[in-house]
Amino acid sequence: MGISRVQRRVFVKNVLAVGGGLCLLGASRLSALGSQATSNREVPKAVLEWAEGRPLNFGRVQLVLPPLVENGFLVRTSVLVESPMTEADHVQELRLFSEVNPSPFIANFYLGPQLPEARVETRIRLADTQAVWAVARTNKGEFWCSYQQVIVTLAACAG
Amino acid sequence: MKTLLSSKTVESRRQFVVGAASVSSGLAIGLELPWGLAKLSAAPVTEPVLPTSLQSSHPEIGAWVVIEPDDRVIVRVVRSEMGQGTITGLAQLVAEELECDWSKVQVEYPSPGESLRRKDVWGSFSTGGSRGIRNSEDYVRRGGAVARQMLVQAAANQWSVSVSECFASKSFVTHRPSGRKASFGSLAGQAAKLPVPDAKAIALKDPKDWTIIGKPMNRLDSLADKVTGAQIYAIDLKLPGMLTATIRQCPVFGGTVKSFDATAVGGMPGVKKVVQVDNRSVAVIADTYWHAKKAIDKLPIAWNEGPNAKVQQSDIMRSLEEGLGSDQAFVGLQKGDPLNAVKTSKKTIEASYFYPFLNHAPLEPMNATALWTSSSCKAWVPTQDGQASLAAVIEASGLPAAQCDVIKVNLGGGFGRRGAFQDFTTQAVLIAKQMPGTPIKLIWSREEDMTQGRYHPIMMAKMKASFNENKELTGIQMRLSGQSILAAVRPAIVEKSKGMDPLVFQGVAKDGEHAISYDFPNVVIDHAMRNTHVPPGFWRGVNVNQNAIFMECFVDEMAEVAGMDPLEFRRKYSANRPRTLAVLNAVAERMNWTSKPKAGVFRGIAQQFSFGSYVAAGCEISVTSGNKIKIHRIVAATDPGYAVNPAQIERQVSGSFVYGLSALFEQECTVKDGRIEQTNFDQFGVVRLAQMPPVETIILQGGGPTWGGVGEPTIAVAAPAVLNAFYQATGRRLRNVPLKNLGVTLI
């Protein structure tokens, strides 16, 4: 199925207008750091809710964030999902989730076979030290995910 | 083997060893910083060289302890030493459980990059919030216990005996039945190869059995070096091929650089390059600081100052005054119905107080040194939080985290300026990035440091109290109006609290480590948030500074209406708080409160609970000509639960009063045309030695499951005690800080 080119452009435009800096980019090569997801961490509730009971597969998602950030105001984030991005097999939606932000659902991106690869870069805000989760849904209804731990250093005298 | 590091030796030393002999024992106590300096050059950097003990040939017994074959014990400390004595206290905690000979203990800073590579093995590097000891006491003691257990196991294995027959003491393991002994140094190699036991499963020593914790051990950082000037602070750092930069940031907060003319200074002596650092600052790189400073003073820079250039101090004051009467405010504490209490009262009193913007003004201005290449970036930073510095380096360098690291260098004062705010670190990297391969030391001028701070928030308070016909207190209202730190610095916390800044209520909060220590009958404490364009920050003691003055001075005002002695009034409303009573009573007893002071001498008292510690202070003053205050003595009692190093606590308490009294009498930052007016210490005074009264510290140890802090709690209690004594002496209430604006001085 997939979203038409026009619809997707409209969506990107809206995201830019609302998110103020949130954007989709054809990025430079992802670094080898990060996205070594394993299944030994408790999956956030918001992720499970989205999957609605369907199996979550660890892998295929390369999530890259700095492992250490000063205050979490602006955290560069990039995600690359291994997918041929053909009409028959492509990533349809990609979501970012937080474990401890007041709002666990950080962002979603609608992708389609028009894109050469399933890659996004954005900037997110993190309230505290936590793992960020990236979850991709394919046109076949499969869920692929990964997470990465980010240390947000504490403000000096704050609680 | 006294090791001194002076600016003359730094370039030639194989190891960057800072520190020297502990004063009395003559032992070499080094503070080894990562990476040999000999490896550093202006050439592109190779792989980081690990600090000595992090190399495999040095037996690491668990993550916190290294024991050398010669029995030296190297304890890892990640909190930053800035004069407060934290490295000594933390080492005492580890050594206690390790059962080592204290005279063999040294400390070292692991690098934040190494910690990251090892999955955050040493936890938080943040040195603020009076948390150095209290937030890490459990896991560092366990770090010592783990190492002890591994050493004992190594000995038992060597002798083929049961572990239960062996014990550790004073850096030896002994086999009880046979009396066989082995030194830690001889066992370290084998112990390091053993699996690390589960730290949480080890029972820690009962406090009554402590032999190192609770003792006034000499400091592990060198006092001698500080006195002789031999200590290397970050500003003194010299690296081969290094250049020095200085910076000019838009004097109006929020403004940006419009243009600058580098050619105007390009030919000046020593100038290497003029660079734009970011959208609001420009730097000159030169061979020396002086040449850089001369050039930047001459550099024509045009600013887009923006709308904030119109902001005057009077605008900010008006905004705060409006907040005092606003019908909208965030309620931090409410009990009963104080508004109704006013309606039915026989008498009400009201008073307004003011506390200004303050700069941290550490003696050493902001600075950092960075070396950037296309494949690595390292920075030498005087930091209160090595991890925050590293995060700033990663972000500014544009390089992967694994290729970045930070070396912590001695701070010439921190006070909260160098932890959560790493603007100077980011700038140093952004400048160094424009001269790849050359180490650049960025030094802010004093003027830059004074005008580009992260200021103690400006705050007003309106206090109201009502009384019945028996002069008994029936209700109290406290309205705060002013700036929120967290709204600017940690908005996530404010968001979580539905717009409220919970930190603004420090010392008068409804619960937690800053809870109010009175049980008033009807009370409401709320905050009208009035933010300004001036960036706020955590200034030693943070919001307790003003809240202690507001509440503790007004408590004296209420006691007067109630016809009660100020001490008795406090005791009445903290009757169910034994540890508050204990510090009040300790001060009263030492001062002989019920006796009449000498003629012309007047007393004041104040108490506070903050950062998890109970503190009280009393003072004796005399006043001449109605406005010249002489403080004869301050008696301070503090109960942090556990006293790890009582001598160090005494020094911390005295030092906090120097800082607190300087603010009370001399200091404020004001805004003119959107910029800070005060540019140097001639306009931002500090209490001098001759003005400083003797401080008598009483340490109480209330114990309990949670430990309290030491660095900040007492800073706030001297000021209200002095103000209360001033009223006793003159009948005049002083409600605006600093007192110099009221014509009142400290002599």
Q: Residue B161 domain-assigned? A: yes
Chain A residues whose CB is inside 8 A of the B493 CB are: 127, 158-159
Task: Say if CB B453 and CB B668 are below 8 A apart.
Answer: no
Q: Residue B636 domain-assigned? A: yes
The percentage of chain A sitting over the pLDDT mark of 90, rounded to a whole number, equals 60
Q: Residue B209 domain-assigned? A: yes
pLDDT at residue B46 in the model: 31
Average pLDDT over residues B669-684: 98
The alpha carbon of residue B426 is apart from the nearest alpha carbon of chain A, in Å, by 11
Residue B50 has pLDDT above 80, yes or no: no
Going by CATH, does the domain composed of A5-152 fall within 2.60.40.3140?
no
pLDDT at residue B224 in the model: 84
Domain-terminating residue out of B199, B228, B257: B228
Measure CA B138 to chain center.
20
**Rounded-to-integer distance, Cα B20 and Cα A101, Å:** 46
Q: Do B505 and B387 fall into the same domain?
A: no
pLDDT band at A158 (very low <50, low <70, confident <90, very high): low
Asked if B128 has any chain A CB less than 8 Å from its own CB, the reply is yes
Q: Do B380 and B523 fall into the same domain?
A: no
- The single-letter DSSP state of residue B165 is G
Q: Residue B1 domain-assigned? A: no
Asked if A70 has any chain B CB less than 8 Å from its own CB, the reply is yes
Query: What is the pairing mode between strands B377-381 and B281-286?
Result: unpaired
Q: The tokens of B196 are what? A: 């690390």
Give residue-wise pLDDT tens across range B489-505.
Answer: 988 889 889 999 999 99
Q: In this complex, do A102 and B542 lie within 8 Å of one another by their Cβ atoms? A: no
Q: Do B186 and B334 fall into the same domain?
A: no
- The single-letter DSSP state of residue B212 is S
Task: Say if CB B539 and CB B358 are below 8 A apart.
Answer: yes
The alpha carbon of residue A87 is apart from the nearest alpha carbon of chain B, in Å, by 35
The alpha carbon of residue B131 is apart from the nearest alpha carbon of chain A, in Å, by 8
The alpha carbon of residue A156 is apart from the nearest alpha carbon of chain B, in Å, by 5
Q: Residue B214 domain-assigned? A: yes
State which residue of chain B sits closest to A159, comparing Cα positions.
Answer: B503
Asked if A16 has any chain B CB less than 8 Å from its own CB, the reply is no
Q: In this complex, do B493 and A159 lie within 8 Å of one another by their Cβ atoms? A: yes
Q: What angle do CA B567, B570, B574 make, to 5 degrees?
A: 140
Q: Which of A68, A101, A157 sits opposite B394 (nearest CB)?
A: A68
Q: In this complex, do B420 and A155 lie within 8 Å of one another by their Cβ atoms? A: yes
The alpha carbon of residue A117 is apart from the nearest alpha carbon of chain B, in Å, by 23
Q: What DSSP string runs through B526-582?
A: EEEE---SSPB---TTTTHHHHHHHHHHHHHHHHHHHT--HHHHHHHHTTT-HHHHH
Give residue-wise pLDDT tens across range B535-565.
Answer: 999 999 999 999 999 999 999 999 999 999 9
Residue B608 has pLDDT above 90, yes or no: yes
Measure CA B148 to chain center.
32
Q: Do B340 and B423 fall into the same domain?
A: no
The alpha-carbon radius of gyration of chain A (Å, integer) is: 15
State which residue of chain A sits closest to B502, comparing Cα positions.
Answer: A159
Task: Say if CB B485 and CB B457 are below 8 A apart.
Answer: yes
Give residue-wise pLDDT tens across range B128-171.
Answer: 999 999 999 999 999 999 999 999 999 999 999 999 999 999 99
Chain B residues whose CB is inside 8 A of the A101 CB are: 492
Q: Which of A102, A153, A158 sits opposite B496 (nearest CB)?
A: A102
**Rounded-to-integer distance, Cα B432 and Cα B378, Å:** 10
Q: In this complex, do B490 and A101 lie within 8 Å of one another by their Cβ atoms? A: no
Task: Say if CB B432 and CB B371 are below 8 A apart.
Answer: yes
Between B229-238, B294-303, B597-606, the lowest mean confidence (pLDDT) is in: B229-238
Pairs of CB atoms within 8 A across A/B: 101
pLDDT band at A155 (very low <50, low <70, confident <90, very high): low
Q: Beta-carbon neighbour count of residue B592 at 10 Å?
A: 10
Q: Do B524 and B385 fall into the same domain?
A: no
Q: Do B115 and B82 fall into the same domain?
A: yes
Q: The tokens of B213 are what? A: 């914790």
Average pLDDT of the residues of chain B: 92
Q: Do B220 and B332 fall into the same domain?
A: no
Give residue-wise pLDDT tens across range A17-61.
Answer: 333 333 332 222 222 233 333 456 889 999 999 999 899 999 999
Q: In this complex, do A155 and B402 lie within 8 Å of one another by their Cβ atoms? A: no
Q: In this complex, do B385 and A154 lie within 8 Å of one another by their Cβ atoms? A: yes
Q: Do B518 and B664 fall into the same domain?
A: yes
Q: What angle do CA B12, B15, B18 make, to 5 degrees?
A: 95
Query: What is the pairing mode between strands B73-76 and B105-108?
Result: parallel
Give residue-wise pLDDT tens across range B320-375.
Answer: 999 999 999 999 999 999 989 988 899 999 999 999 999 999 999 999 999 999 99
Average pLDDT over residues B379-388: 96
Average pLDDT over residues B433-437: 98
Chain B residues whose CB is inside 8 A of the A72 CB are: 492
Question: Distances in Å between the alpha carbon of B616 and those of B10, B613, B646, B659, B746?
Answer: 45, 10, 17, 17, 21
Q: Beta-carbon neighbour count of residue B635 at 10 Å?
A: 24
> A-contacting residues of B 478-497, CB under 8 Å?
485-486, 489-493, 495-496
Alpha-carbon dihedral B353, B614, B594, B562, rounded to 10 degrees = 40
List the one residue out of B168, B169, B137, B136 whose CA is nearest residue B150.
Answer: B168
- The single-letter DSSP state of residue B740 is G
Q: The tokens of B73 are what? A: 């014990």
State which residue of chain B sits closest to A69, comparing Cα positions.
Answer: B391
CATH number of the domain where residue B34 is located: 3.30.365.10
Beta bridge partners of A110: A93
**Rounded-to-integer distance, Cα B552 and Cα B388, Å:** 36
Domain-terminating residue out of B191, B211, B228: B228
Residue B385 has pLDDT above 50, yes or no: yes
Domain-terminating residue out of B443, B474, B506: B443
Q: Do B353 and B370 fall into the same domain?
A: no
pLDDT at residue B228 in the model: 87
Residue B569 has pLDDT above 50, yes or no: yes
Q: Which of A31, A33, A158 sits opposite B538 (nearest CB)?
A: A158
Asked if A51 has any chain B CB less than 8 Å from its own CB, the reply is no
Sheet holding A118-124, edge to edge: A61-64, A75-81, A118-124
Chain A residues whose CB is inside 8 A of the B124 CB are: 153-154
Burial class (CB in 10 A: 0-12, 13-18, 19+), B513: buried
Asked if A125 has any chain B CB less than 8 Å from its own CB, the reply is yes
Chain B residues whose CB is inside 8 A of the A158 CB are: 129, 420, 485-486, 489-490, 493, 503, 538
Q: Residue B3 domain-assigned? A: no
Chain B residues whose CB is inside 8 A of the A70 CB are: 388, 391-392, 395, 422
Best of B490, B543, B545 to disrupt the A interface by mutation (most A CBs within 10 Å)? B490
pLDDT at residue B656 in the model: 96
Asked if B458 has any chain A CB less than 8 Å from its own CB, the reply is no
pLDDT at residue B681 in the model: 97
Q: In this complex, do B391 and A70 lie within 8 Å of one another by their Cβ atoms? A: yes
Q: Do B464 and B398 fall into the same domain?
A: no
Number of domains composing chain B: 3
Q: In this complex, do B489 and A71 lie within 8 Å of one another by their Cβ atoms? A: yes
Beta bridge partners of B634: B619, B695
The alpha carbon of residue B332 is apart from the nearest alpha carbon of chain A, in Å, by 15
**Rounded-to-integer distance, Cα B33 and Cα B604, Å:** 46
Residue B41 has pLDDT above 50, yes or no: no
Average pLDDT over residues B221-245: 91
Best of A70, A100, A150 to disrupt the B interface by mutation (most B CBs within 10 Å)? A70
Q: In this complex, do B395 and A67 lie within 8 Å of one another by their Cβ atoms? A: no
Could you give the ipTM of this predicted complex? 0.71
State which residue of chain A sits closest to B538, comparing Cα positions.
Answer: A157
Give residue-wise pLDDT tens across range B465-474.
Answer: 999 999 999 9
Residue A8 has pLDDT above 50, yes or no: no
State which residue of chain A sits closest to B405, comparing Cα positions.
Answer: A68
The alpha carbon of residue A81 is apart from the nearest alpha carbon of chain B, in Å, by 20
Give residue-wise pLDDT tens across range B183-230.
Answer: 999 999 999 999 999 999 999 999 999 999 999 999 998 788 888 888
Chain B residues whose CB is inside 8 A of the A153 CB are: 124-126, 385, 387-388, 391, 420
**Rounded-to-integer distance, Cα B538 and Cα B420, Å:** 8
Q: Where are the domains of chain A?
A: 5-152
The alpha carbon of residue B77 is apart from the nearest alpha carbon of chain A, in Å, by 17
**Rounded-to-integer distance, Cα B393 and Cα B235, Å:** 18
| Residues 6 or more apart whose Cβ sits within 8 Å of residue B79 | B86, B87, B90, B125, B126, B127, B132, B136
Average pLDDT over residues B44-67: 63
Asked if A84 has any chain B CB less than 8 Å from its own CB, the reply is no
Q: Do B383 and B523 fall into the same domain?
A: no
Average pLDDT over residues A92-97: 97
Question: Distances in Å between the alpha carbon of B399 and those of B111, B429, B602?
Answer: 18, 11, 62
Chain B residues whose CB is inside 8 A of the A156 CB are: 126-129, 384-385, 416, 419-420, 537-538
Q: Residue B701 domain-assigned? A: yes
Chain A residues whose CB is inside 8 A of the B502 CB are: 159
**Rounded-to-integer distance, Cα A8 and Cα A14, Å:** 10
Task: Say if CB B324 and CB B479 are below 8 A apart.
Answer: yes
The percentage of chain B sitting over the pLDDT mark of 70, rounded to a whole number, equals 92
Measure CA B563 to chain center.
39
Q: Which domain holds residue B299?
A: 234-306+366-443
Q: Beta-carbon neighbour count of residue B310 at 10 Å?
A: 11
Asked if B112 has any chain A CB less than 8 Å from its own CB, the reply is yes
pLDDT at residue B30 in the model: 33
Task: Say if CB B552 and CB B580 are below 8 A apart.
Answer: no
Q: Do B428 and B525 fall into the same domain?
A: no
Q: Residue B10 domain-assigned? A: no
